[in-house]
Chain A
Amino acid sequence: MDSLISSLSEGRGVYVMYFPTSFRIHAVVVNPFRNKELSPSFLEKQYRDACQALGSLHENITFLVDYHTSIDAGSKHVQRMLLEYRQQHPGPVIGVIECPKLQALKSAVRALDDFPCVTIPCNARDNNYQALGWQATAGRTSMQRCAASTQWFNERISLARYAHVPLGNFELDWLLFTADVFFSRALRDQQQVLWISDDGIPDLGGTYEGDTCFADEVIQPALTYPGAYRRVAVELKIHHLAVNSLLKSSQVDEMEGGPIGSFANDMPAGPNGTETEFDDATLCLPAFQVLKQLIQRCISDAVSSGNVFADAILQHLYRWLCSPRSKLHDPALHHLLHNVMKKVFALMLAEFRKLGANVIFANFSKIIIDTGKVDLLSARAYCDSLLKTLQTRDIFEWVELEPLHYWHSLLFMDQYNYGGIQAKMQNATSEGSSDGDNDIDIVSSWNIAEYLPKATQDHFVLIVSEFLYVPWKYMKEQVALRSTTRDETSCTPSITIMAAENLEVQVIGYLRDQISNYFADKLLRIVSDILHHFKGKGKSESVELTNREPDPHTHKGDAALEFIKHICAVLALDQNVQHDILRMRKNLLKLVRVKEFAPEAQFQDPCASFTLPNVICSYCNDCRDLDLCRDSTLQGQEWRCAVPQCGQPYHREQMENALLQVVRQRERLYHLQDLVCLRCRQVKAAHLSEQCSCGGAFRCKEESSQFLSKMRVFLNVAVSQKFELLQDVVQWILEVR
């Protein structure tokens, strides 16, 4: 075996050849200039450090460095060395190549034609050289890659043995490839047709007439219960929902009283209802069963035998099913599993509620529940008990729920508009918590605030944070006070319940006082300041202060009015004090001379948005629906995975293409939509008639203005992300010149 690591950038580059059998590493550096920074001793040190980091043995390696001024000369040198190696070692040899442009490398170094080659996935950052000191960086990186290559190769051999696939056949994405191979074998064993194709649509013979783009139909369900949650809430991450749903689909059948195929009929016929071929669900049932058996075998391999490859396949199951690049990708199969996942998801939420938890928010990745507990220790104990109980349910056997955050207090409008008092992580795990101010973070994640001018934003965040903190602090003090009192009097449990209720009443009363006095005064002053500050500016200047382009329906330019609407919409999330907030709002609106029930006084979320479903990170396998205009982690130029320890950039062209397919699908469906009678609501059947038989006129099910305003969202995304093709396409649809 020999390893060849190569990275090139603008006429500069490094080729590193690692010959384990010869105990030799040879570096060829291409540098148009005179400075030579790499030496054998430098490389040796880097290699030793890399081996220590990996925990592998450090052999006695000879290091050699050669310099050339052009890529061609460097390539020739590599060519010559490989030929020499070939002559000295005529036995079997395999090449392990890590290179960004494999074809270009093979063209330049023809000696590689004599070697069977396998490819290590390449990190794009290896090719980004800084202007100065790049040689040391490239040297260190290449030594790390050399040290890792042996381990990588051995892992690949183990995978080849497990999967019974020749070593050289694995593609860059070995997971998709291996899953396809396993599925193919299982289908063949069951005498089923293999629908292998390379464009994401099953090859079932003949030309496929329909467009099977499910992008708009497999949005994850997202349940949102806006409100103010003044007791401890816990945020749970959901793992392995896809695997669990697949394995437990039979139980779901029994509980629902029907076969899996009938799920499609449960779906309400939305705008895409007429387009979906419900027979797809029934037709792919045999394949679904085969898939289920396959996953059961992977579970056995992973759990009983501890096989890491089987475990990885399970981790990436959903990614494989979603990926149109999989050879056996079938949108109907994906759609079917998605329906089962929705069923299991609904059952899980029902179970949570049965166990006394109050759901604040839930989607396929995350659940936030209100524990109903006042202090953190009780909440944590309750949460542990809840998860243990859920784990005993057979239908959730493989689902794993991981607590991520505990919130002392949470003001929740939706997934992208919330604020809360979050307990710090070490506090959540330590036994003796003190619940002091040092142990909390006040989190503000308000997308709607982005549409206020900067100065107003600061006021907004401050008021909301105080609205969270003030009652929580008061409650903490009251609890401490009562704890002291209780120690002295030794009260009975029944009195404790009454005391808890009394405490809540007391906190609400306190908050109402604060609203009438502190908050009302402060907000009146803030609004006056805003009015004064913006009086001297024209409307255009106010609009310029907005960070992003809002929905066209939003009344622009009036900063004070927008501030009032935003802040009162958030504070009114607390049902207990809603009446007081509305009264305060009326007073604030008087200040800007707007009537309470005027249309411009109604709050509307300023951000029209689109959610791109099933975006899967290629690195950490996280699968989520991306809300492209509201998700704060997506703002800015590059879209990255939001998992904290990952941050891998999403593939730009894949993202643009996914959006393009949604646009094309919606455009097509617009032209296929039914017409509806205005009077009798019947769908128009005849083609040539201009009136309904009842005499009514017809209208489109989806008006063109609705359709075009949705398209404007895509145009905004395309412009901000510089998706040029998407921009061309949507501009044509919107007839923008």
Chain B
Amino acid sequence: EAAAFLARFPDAEDDALDLLLDELDKEPLQSSILDRDAVRRVVALLVEADEAVDAASPAATSARSALRVVDSFVVPRFHYDPIKKVFYEHTSRLAIHGEAGDKAALYRDRYQVLLQRLARDIYFSKPAFDTVMTEDDNCEITSIQSLIGCTGRRWIMGVISQLEERQFYLEDLTGAVPIDLSNAKITSGFFVENTVIVAEGELLSNGIFQVNTCGFPPLEDREASLSMLMGLDFFGGGVIPTEETVRLSTLEKKAMNDMFVILSDVWLDNYETMEKLGVVLDGYDSLEAVPSLFVLMGNFCSRPCNLAFNSFEELRLQFGKLGEMIAARSRLKEHSRFLFIPGPDDAGPSKALPRCALPKYLTEELQKHIPNAIFVSNPCRVKFYTQEIVFFRQDLLYRMRRSCLIPPTTEETSDPFEHLVATITHQSHLCPLPLTVQPIIWSYDHCLRLYPTPHTIVLGDKSDQKAFKYTGITCFNPGSFANDSTFAAYRPCTKEVELSALES
């Protein structure tokens, strides 16, 4: 953290270090040991101040200062206290390999986030005046433990789990109840294990909860979430004061020339893909205003990293060639930033999410040519002025469809991508799949949260290119560049997506 901070001031490293140490002295430490969290907070403050200064300068429209990339592993973690009804920050160290409590906390935190959101929804609030509402309109959530002895229609909210073979349960913080989904009417989305649902139904005499209707917890407007959170930094890019938000928002709308180009499945070992990439780069290099940001998402190799793959040195050289290719287009090299996000089959320590950035061994050659290339985790977050954008590269659609328990309803839409968007936004989670389908690092589940709702979500998937605006959230899949020659261009000033493709 400190080294990254000092790298921002290549000519004044000593001064920057003194400033960092001075600020650390003011920081109230919990112990005599200087841990990563304290350094991170101070660095975030200083970076914030630095960018404020940059923003006030005549070069206010510079993309360099407007853009901030957040790695998943530095996103702060917040827990919800149901007694005080506030979120508080997790301050101790987050281990990549956690203990037993961390695994349970993963589920509980997800549930708590959605429960506190639901509690503010008008249909599920406790009635303040009993006489005002009739019995049929009362949708108060009953805890599962309280279901025992209850008769009649009830609303419950819980996590779908399979505690016994072929028997599904709903779990909440108090207990679990077996459910029967065979006659349930559902809303849009993929209902898979580990999703949180709100179910209306009745507890039968055999102890099974018969579900009549169920759906995902209702969405909350981003502004409503932010007002409730009162300045907590859920996104990870630092908190912007209200007056600054107005100013930055104005600048954002004026940034007509800023464009993000997003490509997925950039196979460096495939000759045709590299040729096509050259065409794309040439095209943008010749524009009057070059794109601010290129996002290259993996897989960066046509073959997965498994026992049969033995060519890491070659892959390293291919990254070097990519660096040469970019450097040869001098305007892109000077004015664009390049962001690299690993794909699900790229080499690295694990397949668990979030995934750390590509290994240094593979990227060293590229960095010789493009020193300011950014290598980040998957998923990663990008803040552009006030806009929050989440990038996630995972073949999610296929797994969701394979894992869903009930075929999706076709009432609102039959488009699988739209069902996927509905699922992850309502769940406020990028990957609400069972851990056995997609392992998740227990202590870092919060990095996959989508709460408060970001402005834009980029879902890199090998399925077809697609864009969809869902309740004000822009979601798109750039498609597979290697397979379909498809990519996407995003203009943050208007939140418009151009789905592009090369002629083949």
Contact = CB atoms under 8 A, between A and B. Distances in A.
A688 B108 contact: yes
Interface in A551-586: none
Nearest to A661: B307
Contacts of B176: 686
A725 B312 contact: yes
Contact of B104 (A215, A690, A730): A690
Interface string B476-487: 000000000000
A592 to B, nearest CB: 36
A700 B96 contact: no
Given A653-B310, A672-B435, A735-B96, A698 B104 contact: yes
B398 interface: yes
A707 interface: yes
B347 A725 contact: yes
Given A653-B311, A658-B307, A672-B439, A688 B107 contact: yes
B101 A213 contact: no
Contacts of A329: 308
Contact of A700 (B100, B304, B362): B100
Contacts of A198: 303, 308
Nearest to A727: B361
A664 B312 contact: no
A732 B436 CA distance: 22
A668 B101 CA distance: 18
B351 interface: yes
Interface of chain B, main secondary structure = loop
Given A686-B163, A690-B104, A729-B348, A207 B310 contact: no
A405 interface: no
Contact of B440 (A664, A671, A675): A671
B398 A207 contact: yes
B399 interface: yes
B147 to A, nearest CB: 16
A113 interface: no
Contacts of B169: 686
Contacts of B247: none
B159 A688 contact: yes
Given A200-B308, A651-B310, A685-B163, A209 B399 contact: yes
A324 interface: yes
A667 interface: yes
A729 B439 contact: no
B263 to A, nearest CB: 21
Contacts of A668: 350-352, 439
A120 B147 CA distance: 76
Contacts of A661: 306-307
Interface string B339-362: 000000001111110001001111
B265 interface: no
Interface string A695-737: 0011110011001100000000000000011011110110100
A664 B349 contact: yes
B307 A324 contact: yes
B168 interface: no
Contacts of B246: none
B95 interface: yes
A675 B104 CA distance: 9
Interface residues of A, number: 51
Nearest to A701: B100
Interface string B10-28: 0000000000000000000
B99 A728 contact: no
B304 A704 contact: no
Nearest to B164: A685
Contacts of A324: 306-308
A182 interface: no
Given A199-B304, A675-B100, A688 B111 contact: yes
A410 to B, nearest CB: 37
A480 B84 CA distance: 92
B111 A213 contact: no
A667 B399 CA distance: 21
A725 B359 contact: yes
Interface in B154-181: 159, 161, 163-164, 169, 171-173, 176
A535 interface: no
Contacts of B348: 664, 729
A671 B102 CA distance: 11
B101 to A, nearest CB: 7
B307 A657 contact: yes
Given A688-B104, A690-B104, A729 B349 contact: yes
Contacts of A298: none
B168 to A, nearest CB: 12
A213 B309 CA distance: 13
Interface string B81-110: 000000000000001111111011001100
Contacts of B305: 660, 664
A345 interface: no
A656 B362 CA distance: 14
A715 B242 CA distance: 48
B190 interface: no
B307 A663 contact: no
A656 B312 contact: yes
A671 B349 contact: no
A724 B361 contact: yes
Given A651-B310, A653-B312, A207 B436 contact: no
A292 interface: no
B307 A215 contact: yes
A201 interface: yes
Contacts of A690: 101, 104, 108
B399 A657 contact: no
Contacts of A689: 104, 171
A413 to B, nearest CB: 33
B306 A213 contact: yes
Contact of A733 (B194, B313, B349, B361): B349
From A651, A663, A672, A708, residue with most partner B Cβ within 10 Å: A672
A263 interface: no
A667 B100 contact: no
Nearest to B353: A671
A200 B349 contact: no
A663 B347 CA distance: 12
B441 interface: yes
B490 interface: no
Contact of A670 (B97, B171, B359): B97
A87 interface: no
Nearest to B162: A685
A658 B306 CA distance: 9
Contact of B307 (A207, A213, A667, A703): A213
Contacts of A211: 306, 351
A671 B402 CA distance: 22
A689 B99 CA distance: 15
B307 A688 contact: no
B378 to A, nearest CB: 14
Contact of B347 (A660, A686, A708, A733): A660
B315 to A, nearest CB: 9
Interface string B389-428: 0000001001100100000000000000000000000000
A200 B97 CA distance: 29
A671 B439 contact: yes
Interface string B452-477: 00000000000000000000000000
16 contacts: A199-B308, A200-B306, A201-B306, A209-B402, A213-B307, A324-B307, A324-B308, A653-B313, A658-B307, A664-B350, A668-B439, A685-B164, A686-B163, A699-B99, A724-B360, A735-B96
Given A213-B306, A653-B312, A725-B359, 7 more contacts: A199-B309, A657-B309, A671-B439, A685-B164, A687-B104, A699-B100, A732-B359
Interface of A: 198-201, 207, 209, 211, 213, 215, 324-325, 329, 651, 653-654, 656-658, 660-661, 663-664, 667-668, 670-672, 675, 685-690, 697-700, 703-704, 707-708, 724-725, 727-730, 732-733, 735
Which 5 A-B pairs give the minimum distances between C-beta atoms?
A200-B308, A324-B308, A728-B359, A671-B439, A698-B100
